[in-house]
Structures are given as structure tokens and as C-alpha cells.
Structure 1
Amino acid sequence: MKTRMIALGVLVVALGASAAKKRPEIPVPEMKADRAAVCAAIEDLMATFGQAYPDGRNYLKQLERADEAQLEAIQREALLANPLVREAQLLYVVRRQYKADHHNTATLFQKGEINEAKFDPPGKIKVLNLKTGTTATLVDAGATGIARDPELSHDGRKVIFSMRKSKDDDYHIYETNIDGSGLRQLTSLAGVSDIDPVYLPDGKIIFSSSREPKFCMCNRHIMANLYRMDGDGANIHQIGKSTLFEGHSTVMADGRILYDRWEYVDRNFGDAQGLWVVNPDGTMHAIFYGNNTPSPGGVIDARQIPGTQNVISIFGSCHDRPWGALAILDRNKGVDGAAAVEHIWPASARELIGVGNFDTFKKVRPRYEDPFPLAEPETLAGAGKYFLCARTIQGNDERTGIYLIDTFGNEVLVHEEADGFGCYDPMPIRPRKSENAKPDQRDFENRNGTFYVQDVYEGTHMEGVERGEVKWLRVVTTPEKRSWTQQRWGGQGTQAPAMNWHSFESKGILGTVPVEADGSAYFEVPSDTFVYFQLLDKDGKMIQSMRSGTMIQSGEMQGCVGCHEDRVETPPASALGLQALKRPASPMGKGYAAGRMFNYLADAQPVFDKHCVKCHDYGKKGAEAVILAGDKGLAFNASYTDLHRKKLVAVAGGGQAEIYPAKAWGTYASKLSKTLNGHGKAKLSDAEKLSLYTWMDLNGIYYPTYDCAYPDHPTGRSPITVKQLNRLAELCGLDVKALTSHRNHPGTMVSFDRPEISPCLSALEKGSDEYKEALAIIEEGENALRQTPRADMPGFVASENDRHRTERYEQYRSVEAAYREALRKDRKLYDADVQRLIEN
């Protein structure tokens, strides 16, 4: 095949020849041409394109007499004669598949981060001429670099993309003309990754970036959020604030951004990635599909099908690369599960929807990626039936080719590269209709926004809640994770450091606001803050909770119908008559624990110390039922560990994707709650009860921060070292794995407050050398905590590494502030300008 090279002023280097590694063999369905499917596609092409598809009848005649050996050749010829691709030029990426890592979002491999060594160049952007069969290199990042994520402008004349020239570089956004001229770099901020750019109708650009550095809560990987900038790279600012990852943006016909989002609020690490929409200015983030669907574990890489309300997307897995099954979704039929799936490739993948867990779709073969819906640009003929995509070519080989697929059952290999490289992001180079441009609805004054709820009793999963029961709405924030440790706690996923028994988040209460008699609420919330809401009864007990987050922009007003509203039904009448809207919005900063992060040791433990420890301490009569002493252990304290271990609190933990019924977890469902109105001589005040209600309803959390004082010690929290713990376990016959995980946990075996009562010592003869050595190790931990308090204690100071990461976080927040100041003053600011601010 002839190859023509287009000069860009960037070094052109041939791709290497190392083949992709093969995974263990899994049975793969044969993808043979089907006579009926080929016939159906030909007949549709004849009906759709008429004279523009002149050889249709001839193909049908050939089919009548074709044997099995001839069928595939006829399929290829007939379907590649489709006017949507017949003489098209296709833009595509050539690279190896991203190396396997923690999650399908883990493709940045950013310099200085945990997986930087997996950056695997080279990668280039090419053009395939289907008429001549020739390819041309449009962008070559060189032998040490990767160019990725191309998107075409509306007129088809420009390409925007991300490129990293070496392992020591960062991904930045670039733009070039489609003829290879005019290459320019649009972003250049050092130490961040800018990826997934897409043009807006007004010429501005949306992209994803790690400019607000945050890390995966169930591991240690750098995440990204949505940003917007001018077409020349000026005035970059953040428009998404979810706590993990926002990516693979595309623009819908109505002007909204469709993107995939990964977040945690009281749910499992693998069940929390679906499709969301947002206005280009960052207002009105809303669920689109898959937020409560456990399998697939990731709904990603979606595009709207022109002329329809449907989208095509990848149904993937949590712990996999960004590939999987390919699905067309009709959101009018549902926002979760199989009901919305109009078509899926392979067909057998339908049986996996909602089955198993977040990694069930790893079973899918062949695997698909980067779908692109085809349609005639003016009439939109053929829309919803024909698609380009990347697809694995054979067996379990990771190598992908460009495929033309259709809803009739045909999959035709259009192009493949040699030497083990795959093809990705295929799209025809042609103009397309512009989407609607949405006007901005926000300002940059850093003011509060306002939320209103029409009726908290409206919506799903509120059965059994009597009207009038809900008295308050609590606003909770769960900040991003800004640091991590090498050592871990085994919750329902990796916690590095330990945070909670199961769930991954720290929680802070912004305030509690009233709910009116008609079920309405109206309240202020700080802008650019990731929040969720809980409904409370008169005593402050949670009735229902969001298990997803939202955010609001400065000056924005946002509303919802009710709690877990049905997002495909017509909303009820206008909110103008609501009682809550007849008064000013309720301010934040009121209610229990408002304005601070919740800390179990400071908020809940004092109640047990005052009322319970006299009976429920080590060696006391109540110890067998539960130990409620505050002794600090390897990760948490004794009472916290025992309450969770003995299931005396009913929490969501890292819970299922599906919505829980009202009162299904938290205070209402916990055994502990039954003792709070009187147990023995214990008489708790209303304030003391509320502190425990709040703890249970915040999902039984422990630490107020991800920062730690002992990053290299067990669980990231223990004052004794790994070596000391291993020796202590050897002396006392303990299982280190059980001590550093919720699974088979034996209880708090070590007390760093009262070393001599540590339960692990009971296995040793008092006064023996082994006993003395074990006790000495625990006492060393006690002394360490006196000198260096950990994050659940007064006087805590974060480790040097955590302080460095916080400084880095604040540095990039100052960059964001500088850009917003420029926007307020209507002037231009670029990455080069803010880089100088950082360096000076």
C-alpha cells in the first residue's frame, strides 16, 4: 500500500514493529458474513440512496448464486459501496492499545504519577483515502510521542487533538488544518494532562484536564475534569467538579455536552460510571444514562446519532481498557438497564446487562471502541443504521482495525495497520451540521448558586414516607482526594490511605435547610462545590439520600422535581407557587456540624465515652456484645471497628448501583439506633443522639481527610511500621492481611492508647520475652502518636508529601482563579501567562 506523508514541521518517524501482547484465550464468536444481513443492508442502501447506490440490484443477483466462499467478498464490495463511505477520507489514530491499568479512564500515564511507566509510544493521526486505498500521516508525534483524541471542526477543515511528544512531556491540545498546514499549540500548562478536545458551535473548545489534581478514591491514579477555552486557547476554566473523572465529551444537537462521568457517593467503585450532560458553561449537570446500572461497569465514549435522540456508546468494564460492547440507547425508554438498549454488538452482550458486576463486560468478544455514527451531512440519510468503529480483528489479539458496521448484522473490516498497531477514532472528513449554540447562564463572581426542590415526596423510592415526615434537607459535601499512600486498607476496594470501613469518601456538612409543608425547599449552595442532599425527619434522622453528586455555578439557579425523580416523565406544573420560593433562599451554615468535616473520633466517640464505655470496654461485661472504647488501632479505633464488624450499623458502605428504598440504611435501619432512646442507665441528650444519627447517615465514615501522617506505614494510618507489624503478627499469631482489611477482621487487636490491654497480648505469657517485645512495639506506636498525631486526632499535621500535593493543588487553583479574573474583566489570558505566574 502506498503511503503519502504530509509535512507538519513535526518529525515523521515510522511506527515501531513490536506486536501487542496477547491475553489468555477466551472463546470468540465467529463473525462470518450472513446472507440475510447482507441482503437487508443492500436493500436499505437502495431505498435510502437510490441512484447514488447504482449497483444494488447487481449485488443482490450475485448473492443469489454466491457460495460461502464468495459471500464475504460480495459483502465487502457491496457495503463499502455505501455512499456514506465509498469515496470518503477517514481520519483515524494509529497506536497500540493502552496498556492495562486500574480503570478504563487510566490512559493519561502522566509524568510523576503512579503509572507513568505505562506510557507506550508511538502514536500518530492518519488519513485513509477509501477511493484510492492510500494512507497519509497528518500528525506524527515522533518515535517517543503519541497524538490522540482527534475531532473535526464543523466545516471539516480543521482537526483538534491531544499530543504528548515524550514521556517527559505532558498531553497538550493542538490544532491543525486538514491539509497539514497551520499547526498550533493551544494549551501548554506544565504538569497537567489535557485530552479529549471537542469544538463547540461558537468556536470555543471543551476538553478534559487534570488541572485540578485529584486522585481515584479507590486507588492512586490521577483524574480529570471538564474545562472550556476560547478557540485560540485563551481563558481556560473548569466547568465540571465531580470528584473523579469526566471525559470523552461530544456535543449534542441541542448544544449540551454529553460526557462520561465517574464519581463516588456511598457506592461501589465499579458501579459509578455513566453518561451525563451539561451545558457548555458548566450549568445543569444531569444524569443521562447508566447511573444506577451495575453492569456494564462503564458507559463511555458516546455520540448522538444525527437526526435522532438516540446515542451510540461503549458498554465497558471498570477494570479494563476503554472498549467493550457497542450499544445504541433510546433514553426515552429508560435511563438505566436494558430497556433503553435499541441495538447492541455483539448481540450476546444483551444478556450481560445488569448481570454479574462492574467487570462482567470484560467477557465481550469481539471488543469495540470509538463509535462514530454515519449520516449524509445535509439530509441525514442513513442515520442510525451505519457506523464506523474500532474493533478487535481476531481472537483475543488486542489489535484493532477500522470497521463499518450496521444494524442489519454486518461488520466489514475497512482498514488495518501492519506491525501490531491498532486503528482508533475513525471518522469521515466532511462538513457537518452545526449543533445549537447555548447562551451562557453563569457568571464568574464566585457567588453562591441556588437550588430548589418542588416536592421532596415526588419521584421513585419514596414509598412508605408519609407527607409531612420530611422536615429538613441536609447539604453534604464530599471533597476530592488530593493525596495518596503506597500502603492500603482493604475496604470494598483499595483505600490508600484507610478512610472508612467500606466507603471511600470524607464528608462535610454545609448546612441543614427547612422543607416546607408542600414538600418544597429553596436554599443557597457554594458554587464549584461537589454536593449531595439528604432528607431528614423532625429528629434529624435520614429518610432518603442521594447517592450521586451535583454542583452549581456562580449565580446559577437549578431545580428538580423531587427525590429520585423520574427523568423521562413529563415534570409537573410550574414551581412558581411553591411555598419555599415565597421567601429568600435558606443560607448554608446552620444545623449540626455545619461548616466542617465530620470526624468520628471527635463527633461520635465522645458520646460512647460518656455513656457506654463503663460497660462496653475491654474486660467489661458488655464487651462481648460490642466494644465501644475509643482506643486507636492500626487503621481506626476500637468502637468504630466493632460497630461495623458486628453489623450494628446498617450503612450503604460502598453500596450497589441501584437506588435504595427510603429508610433502607442509616439510622432507621441500624441496630444501634434501638439503644439510643434508653439502654441501661444511659440517657442521651437530643444533641448526642443527633451526633450518632449523623454519623450513621453519613455512611458510617471515620476520617475527615485523605491526608495522613504515616504514608509508608500499614493502612497509611498506623504509627508502627510494616516491619514492626509483621514482627508483632509473628509474635502473637496474627494475620496481617486480616488486620489491614475489613474481610475476616478480628477486631481491634492493638491499643495505642492503653498498650497493656491490647487483645493480641493475651496469646502470650505475661512477662515472657515475647510478651515484652510485643508490648514494646505497641508502646512505640503509642509514643509515635504522642509526637505525631494522626488524622483522627487533635494536632494532626499532614506528611511532607501530602503537604506538597496540597501546595500543588492550591497552585493550580490559583491558575483557575487567574483565568476567572480575566473572564470577569473581559480580557485574554493564556497558559503561557499563568505559567510565568507559577514560575515567579
Structure 2
Amino acid sequence: MPRPLGAKIFGAALLLCIAAPRPAPAGSSAEGVAFLIRQGPAERLGIELHRARTLARDLGAAALLHGRADGRFVDGEGRDVPLSRFRVVWHHEDGIAPPRWDAASLRALARYVEDGGRLLLSGTAAGLLAALQIDAARTQPLTFGNDRSQAGLVPVAEGHPAFAGLDIERGVLWFSNAAYPAFAAFEPAGGIVLARTPGDAPVPLVEYRRGGGRAIAAAWRLGVPHRNVAAAYARNFRGLLANLLAYLGRDAAWEPPASTRPAPPDWEALRLAIVDLTETFGARYPHGGEFLRDLEKLEARWAGSDDPAAIRRAFADLQRAALCANPRIDFDRLLVIRRRADALGLPANYLGNTSLTPAGYDNRIAILSPVAPDGTLAALYEPEGGRFAGDVDLDFDAERLLFSMPDARGRWRVWEIGTDGAGLRLVPQIEEPDVDNYDACYLPDGRIIFSSTACFTGVPCVGGSEHVANLYLAARDGTIRQLTVEQDHDWCPTMLANGRVLYLRWEYTDTPHAFSRILFHMNPDGTEQMACYGTNSYWPNAMFFARPLPGHPTKLVAVVGGHHDVPRMGELVIFDPARGRFEAEGAVRKIPGRGRRVEAAVLDLTTAQSYPRFLHPFPLDEKYMLAACKPSEDALWGIYLVDVFDNIVLIREEPGYALLEPVPLRKTPRPPVVPDRVDLSRRDAAVLLADVYEGPGLAGVPRGTIKALRVISYQFAYQGMGAEPDSVGLDGPWDPKLILGT
């Protein structure tokens, strides 16, 4: 749950002086930077101000000064120190509202700027602009913390020194959990906007010219885990602050360029892909040399062209022609879901299909043929009454498919239909009036695994109102058996090439539940359930729609998202558990993100402001895949061909609709059948524990210390129960633990 921000703090002013990031100009008596806070020397600083003070010290040598109510500033021995001594004054605040300064101090600060001083206002101190008569900026208080979400800025002032040398990823300067907005909204009336937020609340970075001085408002607060953030995000935020101080310390102010030119296309991404396809397929990709020559011509024309838009269109045409000639696109029919754009039918990341309304989707299972922008999109099956149809899984022989759809009573069921549109039927499942079944996948021996609420468990944090779905096995003779026993959902079962089943498991019990959706794999009979990726990790929060990469024994791709985040959608990341299974250790590549290390971000809303957004990846090999993609906030959800070189090529979109779940309509290799190992005559289970000292749980415990093991069992809360007042402990454990023995 979000935490309330710290209470307002009022008191005398305190100055922290640090060395100037640039030398003072000749003839100037000003020196250094003053870091200004209101607390007196005897007052204890709050967590954030202490962190800000430490950050200021990291940027240079520091000395402490405090202020008086009459507008004077003195050092620790009471000696006056005029503000005019400093080239730059940096004031940071961490309260909910702008800080309350006495009138004399405000006049002193305003006079300082008028007389040529430079002022950096960060945190809620940015709300002082009106009191200083710099700008009538409007602020909307942030009444509880928003440090759960992504944070970043989109630079719009081309060439401004604030962004020099920083790692700007596809137009965004990310600092994620290193910082977060100080206001729900910060709307300046004037000034020069240097950068805007990529989404959500408008909290721009703004520069002002006032009298002989300058001021910059950066309404951003330090994130609580600032010392533990990924190095890339910390570098960006620290680098931004250092750049702002350096810029304000200079005499010359930045001036906007007379004209701007749009960013060029990603020439290198297309070049790398064409070279890769040429080297990989040889004669099967015969026009690679021609594509490269056309690319070189376009790139040469870019610099001198007075019509860059025309070149960008020509680049998009070349990109589509070159990449859609990929021999991996050896199919002429593509299964997709066509659904109304304003009714995506995506459950929240902590919910299942039962949270969705049964109807109102205007959707159909469709076939795109040929697989091209001008291909025909023909209906294979369209449900009556606008009922949901999705969660498609194609059989290995490509003659039939499974999908989820509510029945006439609104209960979710698993259906099967032929790829010719004939033979619609219900598959064997749990036919009870208070049970929902959905999200199924074929096994190579003809059985299916599906999700079902027959466990009658409820998600505890919503009082059990959400019905948990675990995984069940339906045999060919109609017998059904529960495979997983979890407190919370299992999602997205899919086959691995070795015959095991990959699925996403929400490990809710006794762990921070916003960070614990872990990829698991098991034998089709439910034996040998074990972690695949993410155990003990705080990132990724969720890995939906994971699929193995064909041709590689261990790599997989997943859509990485957060907890209270955008539903199911997120960033596209390739993982290799063979390289590591903890947080970003095995994260090979984010798409797009060529040449960048994937960084873990400990956040609840890890992708709330991130574009492009992805759903339903379908890998063609290790480097190329199809996916549903929404490239920008105002774009449609379409079907795209994407690759590890950062090419994102539109295959098809439909005005007013979202195109989702691309699956090539072709035969695929049938994985080997893993023989059942479960002994149904037994009522117990065998657990192999090789070494209790292995892993982080007992790190540092000397061998020989552990003398016995206590075995416990959980009793999960039922539907309609959970959280307070039904939990076992107040704001603590939500499940009774039964001791089976020691």
C-alpha cells in the first residue's frame, strides 16, 4: 500500500554550501553553491532531507549555515553570510505542500535572483515560484507517495546543458525509483519548458529568467530507496542535478535554437537486421545487398533534405520490405484477436478472467492472410452477444485451437474449434455452477492444462472477492486433477521444447506480494514444480505471456510489468535463466534497448509511463518475433514484427480495434511426452532437499548449526475472506500455518 508522505516541517533556514561545479567567472566575487533547507542546526532532518543533504555532500565539499527570521543567513558561529556570496542557491523540500518561509527570507531570496543569483528549486520547494514572484505556477498536492511508479523526463529543449552526457533512452531520461514527482500536477504559467514527463501527471522541468538572474524548477523528490536504486537510474538523476548546478553556475544562459530537425530514423537497427538476415539465410534472403544499398542512399539524403518526413516514410517502406522478407515468416495465415479498442479485456495484474465482464467486447478470432498490411482479416469465429473470446492456444498440428469464452450464464469455459471454423465444443473441464475455467494449453499427448477456480481460494488483499485460479489437468477420458496448490493465481501455461510446462506463479505467501510473480516450470503431471526465474527477486514484478525462444535451450521472452500497473501489458524482455535467475542477472535484452544493460527497478508500477507497450509475444527464433504492440500513447494496438536490433515494424492495425494474440497458423514441432511420475495411490509427497544451507535464506549460518527441520502447511483463505478482519495477524500473515512435525 502507498505510504503517506512525511509531515510538514517548519523552522529556521539552514544552508549547506558545496563547491561550485564550475569556476566563477573573472571579476565575480560569488563562489560555490548553497544547499538551502529550513531546519535549524539542532533539528533532526527527515529521511529525505538527510538523503538530499548527503547527495549535496557527494557533489562537493560542504559547510553548514542556518538562517534567521529577519532574512539574514549566518554560519554556526552566528556570523553573517550574504546570499550574494554564492553563485547558485539550491533549495530542496520534502513536505506535501510548498514550504512556509517568513516574508523577510522570501524577500531575500527574490532579491538574490533579481540581482543576478541563480536558484534551483527541487521537491516541493518548486512551489515557491509564486511566493518569489517568479511564476504563478499551479500545484496539486500529492497526498500520498508516488514513489511506486516509474519516473523520468522527456527533454524538449534541444541541446540544453541540463541533459549533456546523460543516458537518454528513446527520448526518455529515466531515473525510476531514484526520484518521483513532488506534486500530483505542477503546471507553470510561464518559463521555458526544458523537459516534460512521459505520461501521467504533468511535472515539467522549467527554466526562468528573472531580472539579472535565473531559476530552474525541478519538482521531483528523492525516492525512498535512493541508495539502493540501479546504478543507471541513480547516475541519471545525480547527473541531471550536477548538470543543472553547473549550468546555473555559468554566466551564459542557454538560448533555444532557431529551428529544430526531427530525429533521424534508426539506420543502425535496420542495417544490423539486414546483415544478420543475409549472414543467417544466405540464398534464402537474396535481396540483402540491394536493401543495404537502398538504406545507404536514404541515409545520405537525410542530412541535406528539406523534407525529412518523406525520407522517414521511405525508410518505413524499406524497413517493412527488408524485414518481412525474413525466411522465418514462412506462413501465409496469422491468427489474431480483433477486439474493440476501448474494451481490451485485460485483467489487472493481480486478477484473473473472472474479474472481467463476460460481454461487451465486439471481438472475434480472425485470420490475417496474407500476413501484410493489405492482407484480408477474415473472421474464424465471432461469439454471440459480444462475449469475450481470447487466450488462444493452437494445437501442434494447426487443425484446432483452444480459447476462453464465457458461457450463456456468464461462467468462464474452455472451448475448442477447428481452424476451419467448424466443430465448436466444450472440452472436458470442471462443470459446476460456481466454478470458472479458462486459459488452457495443449499437451503433446492430447491432454490439456487449464486454469480453474475450483480451489475456492480468494485473493486475500481484496477480501477474497477475486477468485483464485490454479492449474488443473484434463485427461482424454475426462478425468480432471488439480496440479498446483497456491494461495494465489497461476497464469499463462505454455509448453517448453523439452516437454515441461512453463507458467507464471504468484507466490503471495509471507512475501511482499507486489514483487512475487515468479516463472515456474513443471512436468505435465504436476511433479517437479520448480522455479524458472525470479525467486527472491524484487524485479521483474510480473512476467506475463512468457514463451520459449525456438532454437535455444534456455532463453525465453516475457512481458514485464508491475503490480498495480497497466493491465498485463509492459516491456518486452528476453531472459536466459542459464545466465542467472535473480532480478536482472539473466535479462539478456530489452526490446527496444540495443546496447543497453537491462536494469532492475524496485517499483510497484514499473511500466506505467513506458512506451512502446507490448502484449502476447510469439517468437519466430532467437532474434525475431511477432507481438501486439502500442508504440505510443496515441497509437493503436497492432501486430508488429520486432527484433533484438530495435526494429518495430507494423504488420497490421485496424482503426477502432486492437489486434492481439498473434499466432502463425502452421504446424509446429510436438515436444516430447514426459511420462507421468505421480503415484495417485499415495496421499503424501516426496520432497528432495539437497542442502538447507544453500541460498540466501541461511546465508552466513555456519554448517552444523541446523539440527532439525519443522514442516508446516498453509490453510489459504477461501473466497470472500482474507485481509482484515479475517487475517490471522493484524497487517501480518493472512494464512494459518499448521505444524505437521519437526
**Which range, TM-score by smaller chain?**
0.5 to 0.7
Q: 1:510 to 1:429 in 2, by over 3 A?
A: same
For 2:492, the equivalent position in structure 1 comes to 248
Are residue 355 (structure 1) and residue 601 (structure 2) matched? Answer: yes
Q: 1:97 to 1:312 in 2, by over 3 A?
A: farther
- Greater percentage in strand: 2
For 2:731, the equivalent position in structure 1 comes to 502
Q: 1:280 to 1:448 in 2, by over 3 A?
A: same
Could you say which structure has the greater relative contact order, defined with CA pairs below 8 angstroms and 6 or more residues apart?
1
Q: CA deviation at 1:223?
A: 1.4
**What amino acid maps onto 2:732 in structure 1?**
S
What does 1:774-813 align with in structure 2 at a 5 Å threshold? none
For 2:444, the equivalent position in structure 1 comes to 201
Moved more, 65-74 or 446-455: 446-455
For 1:182, the equivalent position in structure 2 comes to 423
Give me the whole-angstrom Cα distance separating, in 1, the residues matched to 2:673 and 2:522.
13
Q: CA deviation at 1:484?
A: 2.8
For 1:160, the equivalent position in structure 2 comes to 402
What does 1:605-644 align with in structure 2 at a 5 Å threshold? none
Q: CA deviation at 1:107?
A: 4.1
SS of the equivalent of 1:218 reads: helix
Give me the whole-angstrom Cα distance separating, in 2, the residues matched to 1:388 and 1:32.
25
For 1:192, the equivalent position in structure 2 comes to 435
For 1:401, the equivalent position in structure 2 comes to 638
SS of the equivalent of 1:37 reads: helix
Deviation track 1:283-310 (CA, whole Å, cap 9, x = no partner) reads 1111110122213311221111112110
Are residue 35 (structure 1) and residue 267 (structure 2) matched? Answer: yes
Task: Indicate conservation of the 8 Å contact 1:172/1:194, yes or no.
Answer: yes
Deviation track 1:596-622 (CA, whole Å, cap 9, x = no partner) reads xxxxxxxxxxxxxxxxxxxxxxxxxxx
SS of the equivalent of 2:515 reads: coil
Give me the whole-angstrom Cα distance separating, in 2, the residues matched to 1:100 and 1:348.
32
**What amino acid maps onto 2:297 in structure 1?**
R
Task: Indicate conservation of the 8 Å contact 2:466/2:719, yes or no.
Answer: no
What does 1:642-791 align with in structure 2 at a 5 Å threshold? none
Task: Indicate conservation of the 8 Å contact 2:541/2:562, yes or no.
Answer: yes
**Unaligned residue ranges in structure 2 (runs of 5+):** 1-197, 205-261, 303-310
Are residue 388 (structure 1) and residue 633 (structure 2) matched? Answer: no
Q: 1:441 to 1:423 in 2, by over 3 A?
A: same
Q: CA deviation at 1:227?
A: 0.9
TM-score w.r.t. the length of structure 2 is 0.59
For 2:383, the equivalent position in structure 1 comes to 141
Deviation track 1:405-457 (CA, whole Å, cap 9, x = no partner) reads 011110001111221x2111101111111111100011323511122433323
* Counterpart among 84, 94, 98 of residue 338 in structure 2: 94
Are residue 324 (structure 1) and residue 594 (structure 2) matched? Answer: no
* Counterpart among 370, 380, 400 of residue 130 in structure 1: 370
* Counterpart among 579, 584, 590 of residue 338 in structure 1: 584
Give me the whole-angstrom Cα distance separating, in 2, the residues matched to 1:27 and 1:184.
53
* Counterpart among 44, 49, 61 of residue 281 in structure 2: 49
Task: Indicate conservation of the 8 Å contact 2:344/2:658, yes or no.
Answer: no
**What amino acid maps onto 1:229 in structure 2?**
A
What does 1:1-80 align with in structure 2 at a 5 Å threshold? 24=200, 33-66=265-298, 67=302, 68-69=311-312, 70-80=314-324
SS of the equivalent of 2:497 reads: coil
Give me the whole-angstrom Cα distance separating, in 1, the residues matched to 2:422 and 2:347.
38
Task: Indicate conservation of the 8 Å contact 2:727/2:734, yes or no.
Answer: no
Give me the whole-angstrom Cα distance separating, in 1, the residues matched to 2:536 and 2:658.
33
For 2:76, the equivalent position in structure 1 comes to none
For 1:447, the equivalent position in structure 2 comes to 683
Are residue 456 (structure 1) and residue 692 (structure 2) matched? Answer: yes
Deviation track 1:257-299 (CA, whole Å, cap 9, x = no partner) reads 1000002222112011110011100111111101222133112
**What amino acid maps onto 1:289 in structure 2?**
Y
Give me the whole-angstrom Cα distance separating, in 1, the residues matched to 2:460 and 2:706.
32
SS of the equivalent of 1:360 reads: coil
**Unaligned residue ranges in structure 1 (runs of 5+):** 1-21, 375-382, 489-493, 514-840
Deviation track 1:378-425 (CA, whole Å, cap 9, x = no partner) reads xxxxx201001111143255x411110011110001111221x21111
TM-score w.r.t. the length of structure 1 is 0.52
For 1:268, the equivalent position in structure 2 comes to 512
Moved more, 125-134 or 330-339: 125-134
SS of the equivalent of 2:514 reads: coil
Deviation track 1:511-533 (CA, whole Å, cap 9, x = no partner) reads 233xxxxxxxxxxxxxxxxxxxx
Task: Indicate conservation of the 8 Å contact 1:98/1:107, yes or no.
Answer: no
- Greater percentage in helix: 1
Q: CA deviation at 1:117?
A: 4.9
Task: Indicate conservation of the 8 Å contact 1:124/1:139, yes or no.
Answer: yes
* Counterpart among 416, 422, 444 of residue 658 in structure 2: 422
Q: 1:362 to 1:443 in 2, by over 3 A?
A: same
Deviation track 1:792-837 (CA, whole Å, cap 9, x = no partner) reads xxxxxxxxxxxxxxxxxxxxxxxxxxxxxxxxxxxxxxxxxxxxxx
* Counterpart among 522, 534, 540 of residue 278 in structure 1: 522
SS of the equivalent of 1:347 reads: coil
Deviation track 1:694-728 (CA, whole Å, cap 9, x = no partner) reads xxxxxxxxxxxxxxxxxxxxxxxxxxxxxxxxxxx
Q: 1:275 to 1:405 in 2, by over 3 A?
A: same
Task: Indicate conservation of the 8 Å contact 2:592/2:644, yes or no.
Answer: no
Deviation track 1:90-116 (CA, whole Å, cap 9, x = no partner) reads 1111224767998414241x3xxxx45
For 2:473, the equivalent position in structure 1 comes to 228
Give me the whole-angstrom Cα distance separating, in 1, the residues matched to 2:363 and 2:494.
22
Task: Indicate conservation of the 8 Å contact 1:217/1:481, yes or no.
Answer: yes
